[in-house]
Structure 1
């Protein structure tokens, strides 16, 4: 089996279950303007393409709503203040990251979540164990663009053929394929197995432990 020296993780739905706090922030912003709120299941179906797209999907009339920018600001302000109320690791993730660190694996997060949110979650849950975190911002195009993966690999001094991408969605699969990278999709995230099976990952991991075998 091929072994890798670096790993790029998606964040939401891969390392952390963030859907509770995302739902609270979406509904806070909707209530502030008298709009209908959404269930966890509905918000789960809306995530994956960054917060602007999330709020477009959640807000009546989307970007055409005259209050849209204020709704977006309300969401960001609330979310940053409540980023880790309900959010937690998926089972086995702390152990996986610890094992990867012990094996000298270079690690980065590449996400469509806004940069400040990514940095706050990295700091709270992983400290500096994960060396690089790249979210939506700083002129990068969102995944499935290859901007963030290639920047992360440059910062890690890692080669694409020696780097494994791990995510939970069609956006992650498309990102990895666009970058010509090997990838694993995880079964515990925000996508259904039926959606994951449309792609060609090395495997659909059933637990974080499944990922360890790709690293010496």
Structure 2
């Protein structure tokens, strides 16, 4: 097999987290007397990390101090409300188990707060994820390749044996910046047409198509 490591994005790729993100975001906005948003709107805010999610959710003229306050409140609230409506996408748990049985390493690279990402991976995919890199104050967000490079170092893997699987333009750019192959998930938060418009070279529509690329 060509690939010995698969790096997955989290939100919209292996887990459908939209409901819990939207509910948490709106709970914090409502608490602070800001307008709330529809799930469809919040779906377009996701992908560039929590600070950007909050910035997009708040009125344009919101000051920096307030943005930071709401961001920290969201991190705290979401960490205890991240597994209420969230669930793996169809067939994903079985697929990750199959990868593990084939001795292919599995990692997650996300802009989600790293502590929350670790908690979620442990809950929904116990014993399957070999490394998780996420949003940290000392690490630039995707599409910067720092998180991918950290995974490669931790797991002692080469770029030519690694594939990145994500559902957004950010993930496509992350893979490009890291110099690794990429496969884009049409089932995620952005959809096939958006992915095509943003340079996706390989688009998969379900886990079986992804399995064909990775396991043959």
Matches within 5 A, 1:45-84: 45-61=44-60, 64=63, 66-84=65-83
CA distance in 1: counterparts of 2:75 and 2:202, whole angstroms: 35
Instruction: Identify the residue that residue 129 of structure 1 maps to in structure 2.
Output: 128
Using the TM superposition, name which of 77-86 and 7-16 deviates more.
Answer: 77-86
CA contact (8 A) 2:20 2:84 kept: yes
Aligned match of 2:96: 97
Unaligned runs of 5+ in 1: none
Residue 22 of structure 1 corresponds to which residue in structure 2? 21
1:156 and 1:187 map into 2 onto residues whose CA distance is 28
Q: Separation in 1 of the partners of 2:89 and 2:201? A: 21
State the shift of 1:201 in Å. 4.2
> In structure 2, how many angstroms separate the alpha carbons of the residues matched to 1:147 and 1:62?
31
Deviations 1:153-209 (A, max 9, x none): 111111000001000000000111111111100011000211111244452111112
2:7 is the alignment partner of 1:11? no
The structural deviation recorded for 1:65 is: 5.4
> Any conservation in 2 of the 1:21–1:82 contact (CA below 8 Å)?
yes
Q: How far is 1:36 from its partner?
A: 0.5
Q: CA distance change for structure 1 residues 68 and 94 in 2, over 3 Å: closer, same or farther?
A: same
Aligned residues: 215
| Contact residue 51 and residue 68 of structure 2 kept, 8 A | no
Distance 1:133 1:123 in 2: 10
1:15-44 deviations in whole A, cap 9, x for unaligned? 000010000111011101111000100000
For the Cα contact (< 8 Å) 1:182–1:202, is it kept in 2? no
Give unpaired runs (5+ residues) of structure 2.
Answer: none
* Structure 2: distance between partners of 1:166 and 1:143: 13
Shift of 1:48: 0.2
Query: How far apart in 1 are the matches of 2:200 and 2:31?
Result: 42
Q: 1:17 to 1:62 in 2, by over 3 A?
A: farther
TM-score by length of structure 1 reads: 0.95
Paired with 2:105 and 2:162, the residues of 1 have a C-alpha distance of 9
Q: Does the 8 A contact of 2:9 with 2:110 survive in 1?
A: yes
Per-residue CA deviations over 1:70-102 (Å, capped at 9, x if unaligned) read 212221121111110010000010111011011
Q: Counterpart of 2:197 in 1: which secondary structure?
A: coil
Structure 1 CA distance, aligned partners of 2:61 and 2:27?
Answer: 16
